[in-house]
Amino acid sequence: MTHISEEELAAYKSAIQLEKEGQRFFSDSAKKSQDKLGREVFEFLAKEELKHIESIEHFRKSRREGRSFAMEAVISKSGAETLHSGIENIFKVLEKEVKPTAADLEVYQLGMNFEARGVAFYKKVKEEATDLRAKELFAFLVGEEQKHYKILEDCYNYMENPGEYFHRREGWHVEG
């Protein structure tokens, strides 16, 4: 059995709590969402948070028992890139149908704030971690939270102004 410092155990506990809060927030947001895009995005993010909880718990148990941990298996479970490309297609289909409300935009903003807090937390515990595998786990979680932030930011920007969103994504076009 491997000795794990109190600080490291506290970091895992805080990480699990953060992910549980995120899962609840995104699950509740999916249930309340009035549009298809919001429901799909929030349901996906709620599932991602559950994967993170499972990964952190498995990692903590492996560390405690002195076993190796297959970080590659955790990384391969990440679906943020797939969802992000799928969202781009949904945007194109929904361009004329979406009529966002201020509440829709606020939920995306709250989600971005939550993910930004996650990025800051995981960066901090990564720097404080003494175990190289723990640093790797927290670095992975930083990347996951950043991807989630980007997904929410793109949704927010799209909902706020679909035409401008596509204009920015496609770049400037000069005629003449």
3-state DSSP assignment of residue 70: coil
Asked if residue 133 has pLDDT above 50, the reply is: yes
- Tokens encoding 42: 């929030």
Asked if residue 142 has pLDDT above 50, the reply is: yes
Q: Is residue 67 part of a domain?
A: yes
Q: Which domain holds residue 14?
A: 6-169
Nearest to 129 by CA among 117, 112, 141: 141
The CA-based dihedral angle spanning residues 122, 33, 98, 171, taken in that order and rounded to the nearest 10 degrees: 0
Q: Is residue 26 part of a domain?
A: yes
- Report the length, in residues, of the chain: 176
User: What are 65-107's pLDDT values in tens digits?
Assistant: 888 777 666 655 555 555 555 555 555 555 555 565 677 789 9
Count Cβ atoms below 10 Å from residue 67 Cβ, excluding itself. Answer: 11
Q: Is residue 174 part of a domain?
A: no
d(C-alpha 66, C-alpha 69), whole Å:
9
Nearest to 118 by CA among 10, 9, 17: 17
Q: Is residue 90 part of a domain?
A: yes
CATH of the domain at 147: 1.20.1260.10
Q: Is residue 175 part of a domain?
A: no
d(C-alpha 113, C-alpha 151), whole Å:
13
**Band (127; pLDDT cuts 50, 70, 90):** very high
Q: Is residue 76 part of a domain?
A: yes
- Lowest mean pLDDT, pick from 35-39, 125-129, 149-153: 35-39
Number of domains in the chain: 1
User: What are 8-50's pLDDT values in tens digits?
Assistant: 889 999 999 999 999 999 999 999 888 778 888 899 899 999 9
